[in-house]
Amino acid sequence: MSTTPARDKASAVLWLAAGQTKRAAAEAAGVSPNTITEWLRSPVFAGEVEKARVLYSERPQDARALLDHLDRVADRLAPQGAPTVDVDGVRVRVSVPPGASPRKRERLIGQAIARGLRARREAGS
């Protein structure tokens, strides 16, 4: 799979599971339709689309279940070794480039925590 952020791939999973076109999924993920075609050739990505389709068909009104599922999809589609920060029940992926200084690593983790807190606040409102 490519270096596209896992959150964008999860967005594409959501659009495809809802029956949207590859073009619509590509626009949502910020990639080309050809990239979606490539991702669908991956058994992991295609399996995630199918699992989301089943969940969507069984519980179309349960947005919380679908969002929780998409969080897990993003975790499974993320490159291995990418650290996560858990902020009050919200998992946030931290992307720290190889060779980053301790100060930069700390700053990136702080930004991830802030994103998690914002997501938690928005989810509560």
Token reading at 54: 């089943």
Q: Give tens-digit pLDDT for 83-95.
A: 666 666 666 777 7
Q: Give tens-digit pLDDT for 6-23.
A: 788 888 998 998 889 999
- What is the model's pTM? 0.57
Q: What are the pLDDT tens digits along the chain (125 aa)?
A: 446 777 888 889 989 988 899 999 999 889 999 999 999 998 888 998 998 888 888 887 777 787 787 777 877 777 655 566 666 666 677 777 767 788 887 888 788 778 777 877 777 75
Cα Rg, the chain, nearest whole Å: 15
Which of 69, 74, 70 is closest to 4 using CA atoms? 74
